[in-house]
Structure 1
Amino acid sequence: MLSKRTHFCLLLGSATLSSASPLARRQAQTYGRMIVFGDSYSDDGNGAWVASNHTWPADPAYYNHSFSNGPKWSNDLADTLSVELLNYAAGGATADNSFVQGYTGAESTIPVPSTRDQIATFLNTSSPRPDDLFVHWIGANDALCDTNITGAELTSLINRDVDTLFRAGARTILFANYPPVNQFPATYGSSDYAFADDYAKGVDTGLGNLVAGYSAYIKTGFIDVQALFANITNNPAAYGVDEKYVNPPTACLQGAYPSEGVPRSLCDDPERHLYFDPYHPVKEVHTRISQLFQEKLAELAG
């Protein structure tokens, strides 16, 4: 049985790109809705901003209070597929607040719904349809808030969420991972997150097992966002990113989080960055993440 863990922490909530392939575009006729559960990597302005009573994230450089400087991967993907987007993601969210409590706000003091809560909210107002596309992307805040958590523990919580969705009728569910939590500008070089690589490997193993186990019953897949970030870091020029902004990782927007302890500043070349703020990528990276989802959907349709 999972023990209860509640922690205060600084949360992840607090290049010319090619167009989608014709095969990916054909997915527009396959799905009617896309339902997203997650944290600030998916929050499009209707999560933390609402939970904080319209106080966070407040910096005007954030697009629609969404923790980035432009539309998220979810907005891009929904537009490409021409589907209705139901986005329950909230910056600062974890998988289960009874295991690791998620918070948002300038000082990370405002509770936010976990993915377990987000799924419950969805099921209280709707039911899965045969042509629904579900995305469940969680796990960074869990590690930022609890340095004792393991990848196996995180994926056991995700598995419970998937079981809930499957039993309710969900038949297409996608997952994704993150760069190791010690690779963000805010955490880079910190000894507090020495466990990050082991955690990331554990999450990858758990998600792989989850996908393998459910693939006989539903369409499911795993999006390797961690590999995308590694590729950009190792070969930034190929992605239109300036190497000085990835080695070490450097945010375009600095000082938006009080905990940074630096004056607020905004770069004039965000498209040359990997990270927009100390935790979150720029809009160009979100477009590339969307393309990874499109490729996976095309693969599942093959």
Structure 2
Amino acid sequence: MLLGKYKRLIFLGDSNSDNGNVFQMTNDTHPQPEQVYWKGRYSNGKTWTDHLEDFSATTAINLAYGCATIDSTLASGTVPMPDQTRREVPCILDQIEMLQDMIGYLHPDELVFVQVGSNDLNSLVYPGPTYIRKRVFTPEMLAQRLVAGVRRLCIDMHAHSVVVMNVRAREQYPDIIATNDPEIIQKSLIDTESLNGAMQNEICSLQRELGSEVMLSVFDTHGFQRRITESPQAFGISIDWSVPMFKAPQDNQQKISQIRLTDPETRLFVDGAHLGKRAQALLAADVVKMLATTLMIPNKS
């Protein structure tokens, strides 16, 4: 197995990659309910990061936090705490600093994944309290800050192999569709495509700067989701893909006592934004295919 060539996998990111960090941070109170979110993941089963860890049969470091943003000086994400307050989660730049404090340098045979950006764009359409925009910014600015973090991984921490996951098609998120607001839906589409385009350009520029000793790649998570929505049944996904597995009731008491799940094995979305367990497994398989063709370990000196 290709992933067996890597000594260790590193995951930095947001709820799409979080394997329980927010759950631990909030004393096992978020995300909830547990009948929906498996072991504190933002999915109803193993995430793509869990699957890659299984495939690799090696150790992993996961510092991804649900609601994380790229740079908390531009926009930050917060989560609800048991005492009814909200606490800011580490952004990607914070996570990189945490990683450096933890291990110092990266080994040539360690593979880093970075997945973030959706929550920064959420701050433009969902103002507070979960996503807080602190400054005016553009998608291009976000991409520059993100790739500055990748540059730090490569220059300061000696990373040799980094995969950046671009942002899924946000205009297809059930929560975005449910707004019934054409302006929000169109803005979500345009902002996502702008961020992904700028991200690709910035990564290509950094690759040219660093040369062949470093391998950088952008995985097209956006295209992955779009392929499923174009032919959902071909992927074993329910044809009405925009209907999530779980919708939180408006009444808190009902939320506690009645949990209704719709087709949990085949739903594309577990909730208003996050992928269900079948899509997570499909994503992991596609990532492995990409690695097999584009991201081999550089020769050791």
Q: Quick check: TM above 0.5?
A: yes
Amino acid at match of 1:72: T
After TM superposition, give the deviation of residue 135 of structure 1 in Å: 0.5
Which position in structure 2 is the counterpart of 1:77? 52
**Equivalent pair of 1:135/1:173 in contact (CA under 8 Å):** yes
Which position in structure 1 is the counterpart of 2:171? 182
After TM superposition, give the deviation of residue 208 of structure 1 in Å: 1.6
The reply to whether residue 250 of structure 1 matches residue 227 of structure 2 is no
Which position in structure 2 is the counterpart of 1:297? 291
**Equivalent pair of 2:151/2:206 in contact (CA under 8 Å):** no
1:121-270 correspondence runs (5 A): 121-126=98-103, 127-147=105-125, 149-167=137-155, 168-188=157-177, 189-190=180-181, 191-215=183-207, 216-217=211-212, 218-244=214-240, 246=241, 249-255=242-248, 265-270=259-264
After TM superposition, give the deviation of residue 186 of structure 1 in Å: 1.2
Aligned partners of 2:249, 2:90: CA distance in 1, in Å?
23
> When the two structures are superposed, what TM-score results if normalisation uses the length of structure 2?
0.83
Amino acid at match of 2:34: P
Q: Secondary structure at the match of 2:15?
A: coil
Aligned partners of 1:159, 1:114: CA distance in 2, in Å?
14
The reply to whether residue 57 of structure 1 matches residue 36 of structure 2 is no
Indicate the larger mover: 209-218 or 197-206: 209-218
Amino acid at match of 1:120: E
CA separation of 1:149 and 1:220: change in aligned 2, threshold 3 A: same
Amino acid at match of 1:153: M
Give % identity: 23
> Please, which runs of 5 or more residues in structure 1 have no aligned partner?
1-24
After TM superposition, give the deviation of residue 265 of structure 1 in Å: 3.6
CA separation of 1:229 and 1:26: change in aligned 2, threshold 3 A: closer
Indicate the larger mover: 148-157 or 78-87: 148-157
CA separation of 1:138 and 1:257: change in aligned 2, threshold 3 A: farther
**Equivalent pair of 1:57/1:105 in contact (CA under 8 Å):** no
Given candidates 279, 285, 297, the residue that maps to 1:285 is: 279
Count of matched residue pairs: 272
After TM superposition, give the deviation of residue 129 of structure 1 in Å: 1.1
Amino acid at match of 1:255: A
Indicate the larger mover: 225-234 or 197-206: 197-206
After TM superposition, give the deviation of residue 59 of structure 1 in Å: 0.6
**Equivalent pair of 2:167/2:196 in contact (CA under 8 Å):** no
After TM superposition, give the deviation of residue 163 of structure 1 in Å: 1.4
Amino acid at match of 2:138: T
CA separation of 1:50 and 1:295: change in aligned 2, threshold 3 A: same
CA separation of 1:256 and 1:178: change in aligned 2, threshold 3 A: farther
1:7-41 deviations in whole A, cap 9, x for unaligned? xxxxxxxxxxxxxxxxxx1331x211111110000
Aligned partners of 1:292, 1:258: CA distance in 2, in Å?
39
**Equivalent pair of 1:252/1:277 in contact (CA under 8 Å):** yes
Q: Secondary structure at the match of 1:301?
A: coil
CA separation of 1:123 and 1:171: change in aligned 2, threshold 3 A: same
**Equivalent pair of 1:100/1:146 in contact (CA under 8 Å):** no
After TM superposition, give the deviation of residue 51 of structure 1 in Å: 2.4
